[in-house]
């Protein structure tokens, strides 16, 4: 009985240190860089343009911070730059099928929209066009999404269009 208890304690002790080691590893610059690079690689494969992020911070469990975010069109024109995107979330809510975002901060977003002669907006060109397929039966999204706070700080939108009803610049 004593031997079985010792083995069980060693297993629990080992599991505790493995979990703690994984938690510590997620806080290293190497891990953050790897996650950022893999996410950017995946995003850039699926858009017509280039997404870049200068730095990824946060603890991954309750908050993330992206610094110097830029989205370029295929022709290298800047569509969006944001100095900081900060997300605070409650991951334990996933257990009750909720995606709880406590706050989203967009600091100094600069959005540049343009519409060409064919009335096509530049942002609509970023995502690949999907081929028309037969409608398939889909299941409804099983999670409730909750956003408590959305903060926009010192942003601007520049609009270039031949339509005179659309203002050229929107600033707070």
Q: How far is residue 112's CA from residue 158's CA, in Å, rounded to a whole number?
A: 5
pLDDT tens digits, one per residue of 23-38: 788 888 888 899 999 9
Q: What is the pLDDT of residues 35-57, one digit of tens each?
A: 999 999 999 999 999 999 999 99
Beta carbons within 8 Å of 172's beta carbon, 6+ residues apart: 154, 155, 156
Number of CB atoms found within 10 A of residue 56's CB = 20
Alpha-carbon distance 77 to 111, whole Å?
11
For the stretch 120-158, pLDDT in tens is 888 888 888 777 677 777 788 889 999 999 999 999 988
DSSP designation for 1: -
């Amino acid at each position: 009985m004593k031997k079985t208890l010792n083995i069980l304690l060693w297993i629990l002790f080992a599991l505790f240190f493995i979990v703690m080691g994984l938690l510590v590893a997620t806080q290293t610059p190497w891990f953050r860089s790897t996650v950022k690079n893999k996410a950017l690689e995946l995003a850039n494969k699926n858009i017509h343009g280039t997404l870049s992020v200068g730095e990824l911070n946060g603890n991954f469990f309750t908050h993330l911070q992206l610094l110097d975010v830029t989205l370029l069109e295929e022709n290298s024109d800047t569509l969006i730059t944001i100095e900081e995107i900060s997300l605070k979330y409650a991951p334990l809510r996933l257990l009750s099928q909720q995606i709880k975002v406590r706050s989203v901060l967009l600091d100094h977003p600069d959005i540049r929209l343009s519409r060409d002669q064919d009335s096509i907006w530049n942002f609509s060109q970023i995502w690949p066009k999907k081929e028309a397929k037969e409608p398939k039966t889909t299941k409804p999204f099983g999670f409730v999404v909750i956003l408590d706070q959305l903060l926009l700080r010192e942003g601007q939108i520049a609009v270039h269009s031949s339509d005179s009803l659309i203002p050229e610049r929107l600033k707070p």
